[in-house]
Amino acid sequence: MKLHEYQAKQVFADAGVPTPDSQLASDVDGVVTAAEEIGYPVAVKAQVQVGGRGKAGGIKLVEDDDEAREAAESILGMDLKGYHVDRVLVEEAVDFTDELYVGITMDRGEGKPVAMVSTKGGVNIEEVAEEDPDAIAREHIDPAFGMHPYQARKAVYDAGVDQSVARDVSSVLTTLYQLWDDKDGADAEINPLMVTSDDEVIAADAVMNIDEDALFRQPELAEMEEEAAGGDELEQKADEYGFDYVRLEGNTGIIGNGAGLVMTTLDLVDYYGGEPANFLDVGGGAKADRIANALDMVFSDDNVESVVFNIFGGITRGDEVAKGINEALEQFDEIPKPVVVRLAGTNWEEGMEILNEDLVTVEQTLEDAVQRAVEYAEEVSE
Ligand code: GDP
Ligand code: MN
């Protein structure tokens, strides 16, 4: 579960991490009022859960009411990497000299959390990790003992953070680990942690992802999740239909029955050079109406250019699925996006016969089905 930036900042600020003064706004007048209260210059920042908002036009620095209005008009309602922006954070702009990165995540290879610090903040840290891995200092933490103060200092020193702010950065890192631990974090990250000309540090961005399975013991965060999910219509729809659904950023829609099967399909889409648009598990025993709901979900995603169905019949019977697909598609005068189907398992042959090949492309193997769907998606994107 991902918190929005404004929520993560609240959590960080409550724990004592310095954050800029800010207010949430959902309309143009609200942005201008907030900006006046905070005092120019301010940053207007789209609240959607994707990285790289700056580059995508979702963050604007403004100096006066006119600019604030203009920024609000362009950002509110925009489509940012497939997400509709309905709220912005209006935030005191930081006059910075340096941008650092600090983060805590789980290192699955080591089976331990790892604290990371870098002086190459403000850019995508995955890119830094790839191009210049030495630019990130890492310190593994024994969860039984927590992060020792010397470990925080060592990570900060190893990263080459300037002496003048080393203490403050260590303290932010220690707090970040505490939060990660107390709140069942999956990742906690500040990028950038800005350094100002008077040697202060301030969290200009905030990421906090929570382990979903621990939400039952984090009622405050669970409440934030509800608030956050309110922003995404597709996630809401998935809740209504009772699907396990995760929206991703690609253009190949994926539907399957069973989490493992869906994950495999995702991997194959990636393997064949495509980009998955979602994870959607219709579950076991899926009947025709459930299949139709699943199709409605992926068709409602503007990013989707093609759809691949991967069904392995067990309790879910191939002929039921086929009927569901036909029924769902017969409602359209024109099929919104090409659909490729692969059926296996119980009653797959009956299913194949039932499928209306005027409406869908049928493939015998999963590999062929995925490749076909990826091709369809590419054709549209060209
Ligand atoms: P992200 O692109 O979605 O990760 O959003 P960030 O909040 O990290 O902002 C992207 C970049 O905007 C930062 O790394 C800065 O380089 C730049 N920026 C410039 N001035 C400001 C400012 O006053 N506040 C913030 N938050 N970002 C600023
Ligand atoms: Mn950032």
Q: What is the pLDDT of residues 267-321, one digit of tens each?
A: 999 999 999 999 999 887 777 788 889 999 999 998 999 999 999 988 888 898 8
Ligand nearest to the CA of residue 80, numbered in listed order: 1
Q: Give the mean pLDDT of 257-275.
A: 95
List the catalytic residue out of 6, 83, 101, 177: 101
Give percent above pLDDT 70 in the chain: 98
Q: What is the pLDDT of residues 88-143, one digit of tens each?
A: 999 999 999 999 999 999 999 999 999 999 999 998 899 999 999 999 999 999 99
Alpha carbon separation from 72 to 46, 69, 89, 228, 352 (Å, rounded): 9, 5, 10, 20, 51
Q: Is the pLDDT of residue 41 over 90?
A: yes
Ligand 2 (ion): residues with CB under 5 Å are: 191, 205
Q: What is the pLDDT of residue 331?
A: 84
Q: Is the CB of 50 under 6 A from ligand 1?
A: no
**Inter-residue contact 87 to 24 (CB < 8 Å):** yes
Q: Is the pLDDT of residue 229 over 60?
A: no
Q: What is the pLDDT of residue 249?
A: 86
Q: For the chain, what is the mean pLDDT?
A: 93
- Rounded to two decimals, what is the model's pTM? 0.72
Q: What is the pLDDT of residues 197-210, one digit of tens each?
A: 999 999 999 999 99
Q: What is the pLDDT of residues 49-85, one digit of tens each?
A: 888 899 899 999 999 999 999 999 999 999 898 788 9
Q: What is the pLDDT of residue 228?
A: 65
List the catalytic residue out of 189, 275, 305, 320: 189
Closest Cα to atom 10 of ligand 1: 54
Q: Is 189 a catalytic residue?
A: yes
Domain 233-381: CATH superfamily is Succinyl-CoA synthetase domains (3.40.50.261)
Q: Which residues contact 297 (CB under 8 A, 6 or more apart)?
A: 234, 237, 238, 241, 243, 245, 278, 280
Per CATH, is 96-225 categorized as 3.40.50.1460?
Answer: no
Q: What is the pLDDT of residue 235?
A: 80
Q: What is the pLDDT of residue 84?
A: 86
Q: What CATH number was assigned to the domain covering residues 21-92?
A: 3.30.1490.20
**363 annotated as belonging to a binding site for a ligand:** no
Same fold yes or no, 96-225 and 233-381? no
Q: What is the pLDDT of residues 15-36, one digit of tens each?
A: 999 999 999 999 999 999 999 9
Pocket residue to mutate for ligand 1, from 9, 45, 59, most atoms within 8 A of Cβ: 59
Pocket residue to mutate for ligand 1, from 191, 205, 208, most atoms within 8 A of Cβ: 205
DSSP assignment of 170-198 equals HHHHHHHHHHHHHTTEEEEEEEEEEEETT
Q: Domain limits of the chain?
A: 21-92, 96-225, 233-381
Higher-pLDDT residue of 188, 83: 188
Q: What is the pLDDT of residue 275?
A: 96
DSSP assignment of 267-301 equals HHHHHTT--B-EEEE--TT--HHHHHHHHHHHHT-
Higher-pLDDT residue of 81, 382: 81
Ramachandran angles phi, psi of 331, nearest 5°: -70, -20
Ligand nearest to the CA of residue 194, numbered in listed order: 1
